[in-house]
Amino acid sequence: MEQPLLDVDERLDTIPGTDLKLIQKIDGTAFAIDTLLLANFVKFSADMNTAADLGAGSGILAFLIKYRHSGLLMTGYELQEDLVELSQRNCHLNKHFSDISFEQLDVRDIPAHILPESCDLVVSNPPYFQAGSGRLPTRPGRASARHELNGTLKDFVEAASYLLPYGGRFCFIIPSSRFYEVLEYLKPCNFGLKRLQFVLPKEGEQSHLAMLEVERFFNGKHLPMPNITIHMANGSFSPEMSQLFSVGLKKYKV
C-alpha cells in the first residue's frame, strides 16, 4: 500500500479488528469504539447489494461495512466538504476496494437528489446530542458530528426510510437516553424494530448506547441481544471488546 501524504492534523491508522488502513483527523472526528461496535452489529442478508452511510464523516463506518461485505455497492453521504475530501483520499489509498464512494450531501436533501427505495441497507452513527444541549465542542467538525447542527435524529430516520424499500434494513447507534424518542420517529416511517443491543460503558453500570436494526414494514417481535460491556470493573477491556479489537471484524467478513 502506498504511503499517503498527511496534513499536520491527520494520522494513518490501522483500524482495530481489521487490516484496514485509513487516514483520520486528530481533531476529535476520528473513529471511536461506537463505530466499531456498529460495524460489528450489522447483519447482512444474501439479497443485499446496495448500502448507504448517512452522515458518513471521514468514511470509517462505510469502509468497515465494505470491509465486512466486499460485494456491496457502498455510498457515504456527508455534508462537511473537508470530510468528504478525506473519505475520497481514503478511497485512493485503498484502491483494492471497488464500488465505494462518497458524496457531499445533507441528509435532509436526499429526497431531492437520490432515487427512492434505492438501497437495501442503510447505516448511520448520527449526531448524539440535540441542538442546544450539553457543551458544544469548539472544533466545528467535532461539533457537527456530535450535535444536531445539520439534521436531527428524526431527519436521519426519515432519510433512511426514503432510501429503503419493503424489507430494507436500517442499522444505527444512539444514546440509550434517546431510545424511546427514536421509537416515536420509527413508526410513522413504517419501521419495525428487529434487533436491539445495549452497550454498557463499564461493568455494573447502566447502558449509555443502544444499537438498533429496524426493517421497513416489519411487524414481528424484536430480538433483544445480550448487552455488550466495554470495560470491566478493574478498567480493562471486556473479553468481547478484546475479541473485537483483535479479530472481530476479520472473523465476520462475508
Q: Which of 16, 71, 10 minimizes the C-alpha distance to 39?
A: 16
User: Looking at the predicted structure, is the pLDDT value of residue 138 above 60?
Assistant: no
4 in a structural domain: no
Q: What pTM value is reported for the model?
A: 0.89
Residue 77: give its domain's CATH number. Answer: 3.40.50.150
**63-83 core/surface letters (b: 16 or more CB in 10 A; e: else):** bbbbbbbeebbbbbbbbbebb
Q: What is the pLDDT of residues 86-103, one digit of tens each?
A: 999 999 998 888 899 999
Is 37 part of a structural domain of the chain?
yes
User: Is residue 117 a part of any domain in this protein?
Assistant: yes
What is the 3 state secondary structure string of the chain?
A: CCCCCCCCCEEEEECCCCCCEEEEECCCCCCCHHHHHHHHHCCCCCCCCEEEEECCCCCHHHHHHHHHCCCCEEEEEECCHHHHHHHHHHHHHCCCCCCEEEEECCHHHHHHHCCCCCCCEEEECCCCECCCCCCCCCCHHHHHHHECCCCCHHHHHHHHHHHCCCCCEEEEEEEHHHHHHHHHHHHHHCEEEEEEEEEEEECCCCCCEEEEEEEECCCCCCEECCCEEEECCCCCECHHHHHHHHHHHHHCCC
Count CA within 13 A, CB hemisphere, residue 116.
6
Encoded amino acid at 231, one letter: H
Answer whether residue 3 is part of any domain. Answer: no
Number of structural domains found in the chain: 1
**Alpha-carbon gap, residue 195 to 228, rounded angstroms:** 14
The per-residue b/e assignment along 145-173, b for 16 or more CB within 10 angstroms, e otherwise, is bbbbbbbbbbbbbbbbbbbbeeebbbbbb
Residues 211-235: pLDDT tens digits? 999 999 999 999 999 999 999 999 9
Residue 79 grid cell: 455534508
State the pLDDT at residue 30: 66
Single-letter amino acid, residue 90:
N
245 within some domain:
yes
C-alpha cell at 153: 435524529
Q: Which amino acid type is present at position 243?
A: Q
Asked whether residue 2 is domain-assigned, the answer is no
Report the pLDDT value the prediction gives residue 247, as an integer from 0 to 100: 77
Range of the domain at 205: 10-251
- Residue 1 is assigned to a structural domain of this protein: no
State pLDDT tens for residues 59-95: 999 999 999 999 999 999 999 999 999 999 999 998 8
Average pLDDT, stretch 25-33?
74
Is residue 47 situated within a structural domain? Answer: yes
